[in-house]
């Protein structure tokens, strides 16, 4: 179906599209409907030259749905639903927030449906974000693997990042972002390894190396061969796309059927992004 109010150009064969011809601060109903359709079709949307302030970013987020809950990372003063994803130019050896393949907060009972990320300061080169298509990763599995996984669940936890023994507990000065690790991060939540998208009805893999810790009813050692295979399989180059950021750009992605990875290759330069999420449903 053709778009009448926006232009949509695919970024890669698997997923991702750049959208132009629209002002995100002045969206009519038809334009918003077409953006939502493009979002479901392409999973990741990228908009250049969108100088949103924080109020406008929040207003846009709420067009898609209520805010998601953001644990462990402190929101901005006056804007608790926005977090600053930042790394300063002089932060040598700092943790790069989002610097491994993951789906946002998959350890929650109802992980966020979507994430919006707006660029405020970008390095002259580097700091790109990679995305991978978890629909395509599932569809490329063998019939035997699909049969084995269809009734399986995996256990997700924030403990490696935000738990009492996680990397932010071990190194509280690892970032200038305000992070509050706690015992809440040690909790576990089981989700299906193969989830059905509530809007498209398509099946997608739902595991990631940051928050998935084991298969349900198995030890970590027993789970590792299967999970390691799924991590490697789902991030094969043919399932991915790459966004090169410019200032005042916005990306929107679907956490229900993608993973993402923030590349840490801009040492000596600053990168500042403002991020929101929309609430999601419990995976089924």
Which residues belong to the active site?
102, 104, 260, 275
Residue-level length of the chain = 284
Tokens of 66: 């209520």
3-state secondary structure 236-258: CHHHEEEECCCCCCEEEEECCCE
Q: Are strands 271-278 and 114-121 parallel, antiparallel or unpaired?
A: antiparallel
- Partnered with residue 276 across adjacent β-strands are 116
Which helix (H) or strand (E) element contains residue 131? strand 129-133
Which helix (H) or strand (E) element contains residue 45? strand 44-47
Angle 64-257-37 from CA coordinates, rounded to 5°? 45
CA dist., res. 187 & res. 22, Å (int): 42
């Amino acid at each position: 179906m053709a778009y009448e109010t926006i232009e949509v150009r695919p970024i890669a064969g698997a997923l991702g599209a750049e959208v132009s011809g629209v002002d995100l601060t002045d969206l009519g109903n038809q334009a918003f409907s077409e953006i939502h359709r493009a979002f479901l079709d392409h999973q990741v949307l990228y908009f250049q030259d969108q100088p949103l302030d924080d109020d406008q970013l929040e207003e846009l987020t709420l067009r898609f749905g209520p805010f998601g809950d953001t644990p462990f990372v402190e929101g901005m003063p006056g804007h608790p639903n926005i977090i600053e994803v930042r790394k300063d130019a002089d932060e040598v050896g700092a943790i790069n927030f989002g610097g491994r393949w993951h789906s946002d907060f998959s350890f929650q009972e109802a992980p966020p449906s979507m994430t919006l990320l707006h660029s405020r300061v970008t390095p002259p080169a580097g700091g790109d974000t990679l995305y991978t298509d978890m629909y395509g990763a599932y569809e490329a599995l063998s019939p035997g693997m699909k049969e084995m996984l269809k009734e399986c669940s995996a256990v997700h936890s924030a403990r490696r990042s935000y738990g009492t023994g996680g990397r932010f507990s071990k190194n509280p000065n690892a970032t200038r972002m305000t992070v509050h690790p706690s015992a809440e991060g040690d909790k576990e939540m089981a989700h299906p390894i193969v989830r059905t998208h509530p809007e498209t009805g398509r099946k997608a893999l739902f595991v990631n190396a940051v928050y998935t810790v084991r298969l349900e009813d198995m030890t970590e050692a027993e789970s590792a061969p299967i999970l390691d295979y799924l991590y490697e399989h789902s991030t094969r180059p043919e399932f991915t796309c790459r966004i090169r950021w410019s200032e005042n750009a916005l990306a929107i992605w679907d956490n229900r059927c993608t993973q993402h990875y923030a590349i840490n290759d801009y040492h000596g330069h600053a990168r500042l992004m403002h991020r929101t999420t929309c609430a999601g449903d419990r995976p089924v």
